[in-house]
Amino acid sequence: MKIGVFVCHCGSNIEGTVDTAAVAAAAREFPGVAFATDTMYTCSEPGQEEIVNAIKEHQLDGVVVASCTPRMHEQTFRRTVERAGLNRYLFEMANIREHVSWIGKDREANTNKATELVRMAASKLLHNRPLLSKQFDINKRVLIIGGGVAGIQAALDCAEGGLEVILVEKTTTIGGKMAKLDKTFPTVDCSCCILGPRMVDVAQHPNITLYAYSEIEEVSGYVGNFEVKVKKKATYVDWDKCTGCGICMTKCPSKKATDFFNEGIGKTTAINIPFPQAIPKKAKIDANFCMKLQKGKCGICAKVCPSGCIDFTQQDEFVTEKVGAIVAATGFDLFDWTVYGEYGGGRYPDVITSLQYERMLSASGPTGGHIKRPSDGKEPKNVVFIQCVGSRDKSVGRPYCTGFCCMYTAKQAILTKDHLPEAQTYVFYMDIRATGKNYDEFTRRAMEEYNAKYIRGRVSMIYPKGDSLLVRGADTLMGTQVEVDADLVVLAVGADSSAGAAGLAEKLRISYDSYGFYMEGHPKLKPVETNTAGVYLAGCCQGPKDIPSSVAQGSAAASKVLGLFSKDKLASDPQVSVVDIKRCIGCGKCIKTCPFGAIKEIDFRGMKKAEVIETVCQGCGICTSTCPQGAAQLQHFTDNQILSEVNALCQF
Amino acid sequence: MPVLKGKELRIVGFLCNWCSYGGADTAGVGRFNQPTDLRIIRVPCSGRIDPLFIMKTLLNGADGVLVSGCHPRDCHYAEGNFYARRRLEVLHRFLPILGIEPGRFEYTWVSASEGQRWQQVVTRFTEQIHKLGPAPKIAGPAASETLRQMEAAL
Ligand SMILES: Cc1cc2nc3c(=O)[nH]c(=O)nc-3n(C[C@H](O)[C@H](O)[C@H](O)COP(=O)(O)OP(=O)(O)OC[C@H]3O[C@@H](n4cnc5c(N)ncnc54)[C@H](O)[C@@H]3O)c2cc1C
Ligand code: SF4
Ligand code: SF4
């Protein structure tokens, strides 16, 4: 083999701490290396041209690029060598940026390490073989998990693009957090008025199948051909018949059920439709509060329902859907703020969350849009907002900024004044982060037009004082202690990953960070992709963000899916396992260990043998390390290839 | 290539592509300084790591081997790291029988977001290997024959 080695300066990113010319010089002595040079920016157009020209000029049949991580540019350079007529797998990369130049400043040690990484890559390359991919059919249907504003946007865009969409929502209605909001910053337009019509579009779109009150049970398969088992949880109401008339709710005698939609402000009936604009507008029985399901007595709803849809024996149901791509849009949940003992830890009824306050402000909420103290139903005069509760606070393990709380607090201060012109609002803040279009102007309006008193500092304690609360904190700008009498305290609680996010990630085989937010393919260049082909992200499941950004990601994910489906066939990754039939003894161990059922037993002239189903194999190589005969070999990561890397390091 | 005299020891890492290799990248992007001894071999999954690779690496003169994969339950291939854990645990107990100090081999889990954790893992492991010092080498005229026999025995 004639190998060409290209050592990248990456401007000064690599050259700054690695002598790339010395690496190239050393590489010329390695077995198989016929040409080696250092280049300024290998990934640039002239850089890639240099590779193409060198391949032609020196009749190279293998290329090593020593530059950044292969997770960044392996695809780029594979295409480059392909343009010069080489098979794309006759290429290797040495990661001398992320793993060398960026993690140490010792030029001598770095140069030596970079040289060794190039030697490893070149010795592996000597064992590389050309690999060819196969074409396979794709199922042009998409599954969207989570019906918040991000999922709705992705569903509508995909459906408009002509795709069949399956939308799975965990609760009984789509809409997510946005459906609970009263107004939205920075325009103060009514949340349900802008979201409602889009929710109706979802219900009416001929291409969208909605499974509400459902969850993902199991995911198998791979890009283009996923198989997903959906659990439709029992609602005890036949949704095919339910018209959403709501008569059952007016007659249900169990009126103490938890009102999840209203964030526990007020109670609701055991049989319940969460809000008037719910999609689908269908009733569900909360089994924990239903007297019939708990004690066998009652059954009034069944008697009054004009469509006869109550079914107390209903069970969870499972459906299987075949799709080619998946978008996760499972949003966020509020941080459990009760860990803050200084805010009462949940003991004071008049300390509420921002989302509870939204429900209180909403005309369709439990108080009909009147601001009332939960303790005595009185209108508050002094309303205190505390920002960064469970955000930017290492002591509770949440060092990140939620990003939208500054803005919705300003919104809530404005709305408070709209509802109660006599009220005075106070906002305790750390910094104001208002970086969006028209955002800073909006927070200014809260201060200047709506007279919100912004106090820069943390609250150290909330005490009960008579029938109100005393909020004590610091004013770090004035350098003083402040005490404010509060009738109502609203906590701007930060965003956590949604409940069950990690479990879903494991089913989808995508990664998540230590807080449970899903990892994008690349922090800058692949914001809605994941490292699992065919699985995309949208909205707050990737990290907290406001509505405009969530919607943008919903559309971005949809465009990725439409792009993927614009082809009729996908090319399979040829880095799959192959069983050498001569060595295989038919023990069947690989068949048992393969997590994807990608190996089947075949009969070869009366002998039992194993055979890999190329399109099902995911290329993990578990079979290769299982096979006692070395018969199953993962292409591009064979025993010989890996051991040649070991040898390149150890035998010198 | 001889290891840098007096400065470095020979440490080889086997990292899965999806989590730990990504974590090492994240550490690089975040400029989390690390000792320079480690050389990383990328494999698709920790389940691809044959304990024999580690044995060969150690017998061929490495002073330490570090394996890292996705956290349990977080494997890109669903269960590869469970296979890895079982195999590597057995290997770990087997090392003293072969006369290799068990401290020379370690396996751990680092996700793609845990750049700082990767820095800590590498720093700690490198210090540990430096404390143990260079591994005794199979040397002398019969070295290659001894190695061949040992490998055959494995
Ligand atoms: C108090 C408050 C006020 C706000 N005010 C504003 C504002 O004025 N303007 C603004 O731009 N932003 C505002 N925001 C931010 C806004 O709520 C978010 O940007 C938006 O809701 C994100 O949408 P999403 O679809 O990503 O997530 P979500 O709204 O959380 O929706 C996620 C959906 O997925 C479902 N789901 C979760 N897990 C699963 C699962 N495993 N399977 C199936 N379904 C699942 C959930 O039930 C939910 O329906 C506010 C936030 C809060 C807390
Ligand atoms: S590499 Fe082997 S174990 Fe992994 S998916 Fe392919 S056939 Fe199955
Ligand atoms: S493990 Fe190896 S020998 Fe056994 S059936 Fe699979 S390929 Fe054949």
pLDDT tens column, A340-398: 999 999 999 999 999 999 999 999 999 999 999 999 999 999 999 999 999 999 999 99
State the pLDDT at residue B1: 42
Interval between CA A247 and ligand 3 midpoint (Å): 64
State the pLDDT at residue B152: 67
Residue B3 forms part of a structural domain: no
pLDDT-based confidence at residue B3 (cuts at 50, 70, 90) = low
Tokens 């002094």, residue located:
A382
pLDDT-based confidence at residue A527 (cuts at 50, 70, 90) = very high
Residue B144 has pLDDT above 80, yes or no: no
For A152, phi then psi, to 5°, come to -60, -45
Residue A652 forms part of a structural domain: no
Residue A485 has pLDDT above 50, yes or no: yes
State the pLDDT at residue A362: 96
User: Mean pLDDT, to the nearest integer, of A486-491?
Assistant: 98
User: Mean pLDDT, to the nearest integer, of A225-240?
Assistant: 97
Question: Counting Cβ atoms within 10 Å, is residue A312 exposed (0-12), middle (13-18) or buried (19+)?
Answer: middle
Residue A191 has pLDDT above 60, yes or no: yes
Contact A646 B56 (CB under 8 A): yes
Let me know whether A392 and A468 are in one domain.
yes
Nearest CA in chain B to A518: B113
Let me know whether A209 and A323 are in one domain.
yes
Report for A114-118, A263-267, A519-523: range of highest mean pLDDT: A114-118
Domain boundary among A472, A496, A520: A496
Let me know whether A484 and A506 are in one domain.
no
Contact A620 B112 (CB under 8 A): no
Residue B4 forms part of a structural domain: no
User: Best residue in B3, B29, B39 to probe A by mutation, most A CBs within 10 Å?
Assistant: B39
Nearest CA in chain A to B75: A509
Q: Please give the structure tokens belonging to residue B109.
A: 């889990």
Q: Judge whether B68 is closer than 8 Å to chain A, CB to CB.
A: no
Residue A570 forms part of a structural domain: no
Q: Judge whether B61 is closer than 8 Å to chain A, CB to CB.
A: yes
Residue contacts between A and B (CB atoms, under 8 Å)? 161
| A607-612 vs A599-604, strand pairing mode | antiparallel
- Which helix (H) or strand (E) segment holds residue A258: the answer is strand A257-258
Residue A620 forms part of a structural domain: yes
User: Cβ atoms within 10 A of the Cβ of A197, count?
Assistant: 10
Strand partners, A320: A229
In DSSP notation, A85-137 reads T--TTSEEEEE-IIIIITT---HHHHHHHHHHHHHHHHHHHTT-------EEE
Q: What is the nearest CA distance from B4 to chain A, expressed in angstroms?
A: 7
Residue A132 forms part of a structural domain: no
Number of domains in chain A: 5
Question: If DSSP states are collapsed to H, E and C, what string results for chain B?
Answer: CCCCCCCCCCEEEEEECCCHHHHHHHHHHCCCCCCCCEEEEEECCHHHCCHHHHHHHHHCCCCEEEEEECCCCCCCCCCHHHHHHHHHHHHHHHHHHHCCCHHHEEEEECCCCCHHHHHHHHHHHHHHHHHHCCCCCCCCCCHHHHHHHHHHHC
User: Best residue in A107, A633, A650 to probe B by mutation, most B CBs within 10 Å?
Assistant: A650
A329 lines ligand 1 (CB under 6 A): yes
Q: What is the nearest CA distance from A42 to chain B, expressed in angstroms?
A: 19
Let me know whether A322 and A204 are in one domain.
yes
DSSP-based three-state secondary structure for A211: strand
Q: Please give the structure tokens belonging to residue A269.
A: 């009936």
Residue A49 has pLDDT above 90, yes or no: yes
- Of B1 and B153, the one with more pLDDT: B153
Q: Please state, rounded to an integer, the average pLDDT across all residues of chain A.
A: 96
User: Mean pLDDT, to the nearest integer, of A33-60?
Assistant: 97
Residue B153 has pLDDT above 80, yes or no: no
- Which helix (H) or strand (E) segment holds residue A537: the answer is strand A535-537
Interval between CA A147 and ligand 1 midpoint (Å): 9
Could you list the residue range(s) of the whole structural domain that residue B121 is in? Answer: 11-153
State the pLDDT at residue A652: 53
Let me know whether A491 and A365 are in one domain.
yes
pLDDT-based confidence at residue B154 (cuts at 50, 70, 90) = low
Residue A641 forms part of a structural domain: no
Number of domains in chain B: 1
Let me know whether A492 and A409 are in one domain.
yes
Q: What ipTM was estimated for this complex?
A: 0.94
Residue A128 has pLDDT above 50, yes or no: yes
State the pLDDT at residue B98: 83
- Tens of pLDDT, residue by residue over A57-70, are 999 999 999 999 99
Let me know whether A65 and A118 are in one domain.
yes
Residue A647 forms part of a structural domain: no
Tokens 């109660």, residue located:
A420
Residue B45 has pLDDT above 60, yes or no: yes
Let me know whether A437 and A374 are in one domain.
yes
Let me know whether A410 and A484 are in one domain.
yes
Residue B101 forms part of a structural domain: yes
pLDDT above 90 covers a percentage of chain B that reads: 73
Domain boundary among A126, A154, A187: A126
Contact B77 A110 (CB under 8 A): no
Residue B31 forms part of a structural domain: yes
Q: Shortest CA distance to A444 belongs to which of A431, A429, A434?
A: A434
DSSP-based three-state secondary structure for A83: helix
Let me know whether A527 and A559 are in one domain.
yes
- Residue pair A325/A142 in contact (Cβ under 8 Å)? The answer is yes
A618 lines ligand 2 (CB under 6 A): yes
Q: What is the nearest CA distance from A589 to chain B, expressed in angstroms?
A: 13
Residue B1 forms part of a structural domain: no
State the pLDDT at residue A324: 97
pLDDT-based confidence at residue A596 (cuts at 50, 70, 90) = confident
Domain boundary among A496, A523, A555: A496
Let me know whether A507 and A617 are in one domain.
no
Could you list the residue range(s) of the whole structural domain that residue A296 is in? Answer: 247-304
What atom in ligand 3 is closest to the CA of residue A588? Answer: 5
Q: What is the nearest CA distance from A218 to chain B, expressed in angstroms?
A: 12
- Tens of pLDDT, residue by residue over A397-436, are 999 999 999 999 999 999 999 999 999 999 999 999 999 9
Residue A240 forms part of a structural domain: no
Residue A555 has pLDDT above 50, yes or no: yes
pLDDT above 90 covers a percentage of chain A that reads: 94
Interval between CA B89 and ligand 2 midpoint (Å): 22
Compute the distance between CA of residue A646 and CA of residue A644 in angstroms, rounded to an integer: 5
User: Mean pLDDT, to the nearest integer, of B79-100?
Assistant: 92
- Of A31 and B147, the one with more pLDDT: A31
User: Best residue in A620, A627, A629 to probe B by mutation, most B CBs within 10 Å?
Assistant: A620
Let me know whether A145 and A101 are in one domain.
no
Residue A648 forms part of a structural domain: no
State the pLDDT at residue A511: 87
Taking contacts as CB-CB distances below 8 angstroms, the residues of chain A near B41 are 120, 642, 645-646
Which residues approach ligand 3 with their CB closer than 6 A?
A: A 579, 584-590, 610, 626-627, 629, 631-632
Taking contacts as CB-CB distances below 8 angstroms, the residues of chain B near A626 are 83
Instruction: Give the domain CATH number at B115.
Output: 3.40.50
